[in-house]
Structure 1
Amino acid sequence: MAAKRGVLFQGLAGVLVALLSALTWFAWPGWDDEYQTDPVTGVESGPYEAWQVAGCVVSLLILLVVAELAGTRPLPASIGLILGFVTAWTADAARSDTTGLFGVGAIMLLFGLTIGSAMVSGLVVGIRDRRGHRPS
């Protein structure tokens, strides 16, 4: 059974998850601001490519699972992940958006990450409880 993890550990772990989550934004899609135009159809897409989004999702998934398996409770781990990523995305989007719609994107991202984090945390807690390891 894992050692008891106090409030200080949980807070610091949440901050670390937030920082790593923000770095995940900049490592995958945060550096790309170019749109692509299909030469055949002329349809514009982007700025992110599918591989960037997939890599970002997998990285966030790994970050959350590792944080929780290392003893961070689901709430601080999830809050850190959500706030870190949404803050990084929003800051980047706000500086280049002229329509103000980045706010809508930030809210959608907030809800999506909240739902995804809750689902992943539920699975991690369920698997950990089945194996007899309860969080401290």
Structure 2
Amino acid sequence: MSGRRLVTRIYRALAGGVVLALLTASCWWGWMAWDQGYHTDPVTGVTGGPYQAWQVIGCVVCLVVLGVLATGRLPWWLVLVIMPLSFTAAWSWTAAGADSSGLWGVGAVLVFVGMLAGTGLVTGLTTVVRSRRRRAG
């Protein structure tokens, strides 16, 4: 591979990584960061929240689609690094500002571990499916 092609690949990966980080953080901001209130069911009196099920489902679906698309354009290991870090950073920014107990750090670790597991599953499955399609085609 020539030096020029290598530099082009590096710039594309860098630009793709920045876009992926922004889009991943946007999943948090767009689906969940704006809703911080708890909700009480008028019939049962049970309090839940702060997020509704549709928000979590929407966020997860967007993250899965983003992970699949990103793994098609970037190396899987780069997607596995960027998505958990950027989502956790966006979550932490919101949580740290609203938490007076200091427990947001525990939440950040849990969010990171969950994102790492989910992103690992998505990138792993996407990589396997793509490699099988290449072999078959």
Checking the alignment, whether the CA contact within 8 Å between 1:11 and 1:76 is kept in structure 2 is no
1:131, CA displacement in angstroms?
Answer: 1.0
% of aligned pairs identical? 42
Counterpart check, 1:11 vs 2:14 = yes
Counterpart check, 1:129 vs 2:131 = yes
Counterpart check, 1:63 vs 2:44 = no
Partner amino acid for 2:64? L
1:28, CA displacement in angstroms?
Answer: 0.3
State how 1:22-101 maps to structure 2 within 5 Å.
Answer: 22-69=25-72, 71-101=73-103
Tell me the matched-pair count.
Answer: 130
The CA RMSD over aligned residues, in Å, is 1.8
1:34, CA displacement in angstroms?
Answer: 1.2
- State the SS of the aligned residue for 2:33: coil
Deviations 1:88-130 (A, max 9, x none): 1000011111111111111001001111111111111101110
TM-score of the superposition, structure 2-length normalised?
Answer: 0.88
**Is there any run of 5+ residues in structure 2 with no aligned partner, and where?**
none
Larger radius of gyration: 2
Cα distance in 2 between the residues matched to 1:86 and 1:9: 24
Cα distance in 2 between the residues matched to 1:80 and 1:16: 10
Cα distance in 1 between the residues matched to 2:112 and 2:36: 21
Higher relative contact order (CA 8 A, sep 6+): 1
1:40, CA displacement in angstroms?
Answer: 3.1
Cα distance in 2 between the residues matched to 1:80 and 1:13: 10
- State the SS of the aligned residue for 2:32: coil
Checking the alignment, whether the CA contact within 8 Å between 1:25 and 1:85 is kept in structure 2 is yes
